[in-house]
Amino acid sequence: MSRIGKSPIPVPSGVDIAIDGRTVTVKGPKGSLVRSIPGTVTLRQNGDTLLVERPDEERQTRAMHGLVRSLVNNMVVGVSQEFTKELEIIGTGYRAALQGSTLDLSLGYSHPVKVDAPDGIAFELRGPTRIVVRGVDKEQVGQVAADIRALRKPEPYKGKGVRYLGEHVARKAGKTGK
């Protein structure tokens, strides 16, 4: 049995969970999320915990067991605490500015790059070279952070570009002089 799938999901106080057939709705102090559950696994609420159960030992059902548990746990954590991803900008003249909910990035192009915050995502700046992406949906936070990073990936010679905070960039040796 899946070790991830069989562990119960603790539900903190202030978080409401509604299970309606194959749809799970999680509401908390930071927001609400709705997701349909794939496969044949079922959710059962037992007091202040949620249990993910599977009806059989088929390969597809076993694969969905741990996945559904992780997805629902991320929903519960997201509506109670929020998820964040931090990015740092490295390079001379590279910087970020926030105008309302739009991120204005100077990344060495001939024009500034503007990134609008999708619904449920908020940007925060910690200095001109540190960007924080926050939201209740872990998948969406990670995707928005990856999209911002893809605007100017860190290059291997000088390390310039947008990277995750603490990300190691493998550096290459440049040309050697005589």
Sorted by where each begins, the domain ranges of the chain are 3-81, 83-164
Neighbours of 86 (CB within 10 A): 15
pLDDT (0 to 100) of residue 178? 52
- Where helices occur in 82-178 by DSSP H, the ranges are 138-150
Q: Find the mean pLDDT for residues 110-129.
A: 95
pLDDT band of 2, cuts 50, 70, 90:
low
User: Does the pTM of the predicted model rise above 0.85?
Assistant: yes
pLDDT (0 to 100) of residue 112? 95
Report DSSP state, residue 176: P
Residues in a beta bridge with 163: 88
Collect all residues with Cβ–Cβ distance below 8 Å to 66 and sequence separation of at least 6: 2, 3, 4, 5
Amino acid at 48: D
Pairing of strands 83-90, 130-135: antiparallel
pLDDT (0 to 100) of residue 177? 52
Cβ atoms 138, 74 nearer than 8 A? yes
Q: Find the mean pLDDT for residues 161-166.
A: 95
Looking at 3.90.930.12, 1.10.3720.10, 3.60.20.10, 3.30.465.10, the CATH number of the domain 3-81 comes to 3.90.930.12
Q: Find the mean pLDDT for residues 75-95.
A: 95
Report DSSP state, residue 36: E
pLDDT band of 3, cuts 50, 70, 90:
confident
Cβ atoms 54, 64 nearer than 8 A? yes
Looking at 3.40.50.1360, 3.90.930.12, 3.40.50.720, 3.20.20.70, the CATH number of the domain 83-164 comes to 3.90.930.12
